[in-house]
Amino acid sequence: MSSLASSTRAGCRSAGDNDEALAQARVAESVDPLSPRAVMAVASALRFGGRYEQAIPQARKALDLDPSHLAAHHSLGLNYQGLGRLDEAIQAYQPMGRPSGNLGHAYAQAGRTGEARAIIAQFEQRYARTVWSLPAGCGSAACPSTPDDDHN
């Protein structure tokens, strides 16, 4: 089992929880089969259950319904990455419009350290002026806010 699959499974309280989530997602998809969001609910439940091979067609189905659905591109990349199909993961992350940590991680896993380092540099530049604060109601986790955000 890949480390991604192990960490994903550890995030679920039990297999029964994931089975229930998958059953509910399938009901939502049956009610509204043309909704990319409902289709992605099934893809997400499959991915969280470590069922990457089954999640890939679901993510593709969501992309057939809406080619600009960013969560579907992201899910597709995560599923390919979970299977170790890194070139396909990198391709799946490309349409997201800007570099993501997952894209950088896939580059690094694939041994493409130059591209991974370029993404790190972009993040460093983008977040160089990040101000970390703890807004009211945020609990104990630090919530990022940048000078460009509306809530600053």
Spacing of C-alpha 48 from chain mean position = 11
Q: Using one digit for the tens of pLDDT, what is the confidence trace for 70-97?
A: 999 999 999 999 999 999 999 999 888 7
CA dihedral 118, 124, 125, 129 (to 10 degrees): 170
CA-nearest of 111, 104, 110, 8 to 52 is 8
Q: Which pLDDT band, with edges at 50, 70 and 90, does 123 fall under?
A: confident
The model scores a pTM over 0.75: no
Please compute the mean of the pLDDT values over residues 3-25 and round it to a whole number. 62
CB 54 within 8 A of CB 30: no
Q: Which residue has the higher pLDDT, 33 or 145?
A: 33
**Which CATH superfamily hosts domain 3-111?**
Tetratricopeptide repeat domain (1.25.40.10)
- Six-digit token pair at 68? 């600009």
pLDDT of 7 reads: 37
Helices (H) and strands (E) in the chain, counts: 8, 2
Distance CA 81, CA 87 (A): 9
Q: Using one digit for the tens of pLDDT, what is the confidence trace for 35-45?
A: 999 999 999 99
Q: Inform me whether the pLDDT recorded for 100 exceeds 90.
A: no
pLDDT of 17 reads: 84
pLDDT of 127 reads: 82
Domains of the chain: which residue ranges?
3-111
Q: Which pLDDT band, with edges at 50, 70 and 90, does 4 fall under?
A: very low
